[in-house]
Amino acid sequence: MKLCFLGTGTAGSKLMPEGTVPEGKRRCCSMWIDGDVVVDLSMQSFDFATKLGLDTSRVTDVFLSHTHRDHYCKATLLAYAAAAKTKINFWCHKDSLTRIGLTEEEAAVLNVHPIEVGDEWETAGMRVKALRANHLTPGGGQPLHYIFERNGQKLFYGCDGAWFCADTWEYMRANGDLDAMILEATVGDDAGNFRIGTHNTVPMLRLMLTAIRENGVLKEGGTLIADHIGGAIHSDKMVPLLDELGMIEAYDGLTLEI
Ligand SMILES: [Zn+2]
Ligand SMILES: [Zn+2]
């Protein structure tokens, strides 16, 4: 799988006017897989993909983790739909549709697929599993993590969500064998931060990664990627911490083969 990160920041980035991003700052969350799958739809995702010269007409499937505005922007979804050669499959939690707010006309240009925690299905030559994320969007549906399996490779995508919900962890422990994991590192090394109920700190990641490795959730030599990071790209504080954890720091424009 070839990953391309189009936005690796947190909710702070959405406050920038018209999605502009000052040098060294991160865009909101969005990622491509193999040039035809988009995960999360930040306000800057389509424009940045275009700027990077990516072929947006190839996109067939778009997955939404949750409806927070740093992950979902209707204009971005509709821009991908307009550029695509085929009618895009849009996958989102079943209770998020009100917040997603598509008119009948807008929904008609997409194949909208409401999904539930635990669903498993095939699309775009991938096997996909939706798992519960420990995150909160009151009135906006259950936030989801995903496992994407393509060409024998398995990728976990976990933005946003703190720690793991019990059912998600038990699924991963039983079915793990992941080639790569994308985990959020929103709060960095701020162990006392109030966000610990919905986001990860580095001390939490340190504990989680020990259990992930010792329980075979991640294959030996598998790739760990930190994403959804508050603050600047390549910050002097975060880089050594992520190095110590054996995690690659995602940044806007990073492409990675797993
Ligand atoms: Zn977020
Ligand atoms: Zn969120």
Sequence ranges of the domains in the chain: 2-257
The predicted pLDDT at position 154 comes to 98
Protein residues near ligand 2, an ion, with CB under 5 A: 68, 160
How far are the Cα atoms of 41, 52, 217 from residue 28, in angstroms, in the given order? 8, 16, 28
Q: Which residue has the higher pLDDT, 191 or 169?
A: 169
Ligand 2 mean position to 66 CA, how many Å? 7
Ligand 2 mean position to 46 CA, how many Å? 19
Ligand 2 mean position to 75 CA, how many Å? 18
Q: What is the chain's mean pLDDT, rounded?
A: 95
Q: Which of 56, 79, 230, 55 is nearest to 160 (CA)?
A: 230
Ligand 1 mean position to 134 CA, how many Å? 12
C-alpha–C-alpha distance, residues 187 and 192, integer Å: 10
What confidence tens digit (pLDDT) does each residue in 216-237 have? 999 999 999 999 999 888 888 8
The DSSP secondary-structure symbol of 25 reads P
Say if residues 65 and 38 touch (Cβ distance below 8 Å): no
The alpha-helical segments, DSSP class H, found in 52-148 are: 74-83, 97-100, 104-107
Ligand 1 mean position to 246 CA, how many Å? 23
Ligand 2 mean position to 135 CA, how many Å? 7
Ligand 2 mean position to 85 CA, how many Å? 30
- Beta-strand ranges (E) seen in 29-173 are 30-33, 37-39, 61-63, 88-93, 110-115, 120-123, 126-132, 144-150, 153-158
pTM: 0.96
C-alpha–C-alpha distance, residues 248 and 111, integer Å: 34
Classify domain 2-257 at the CATH topology level. Answer: Metallo-beta-lactamase; Chain A (3.60.15)
Q: Which of 65, 86, 15, 74 is nearest to 45 (CA)?
A: 74
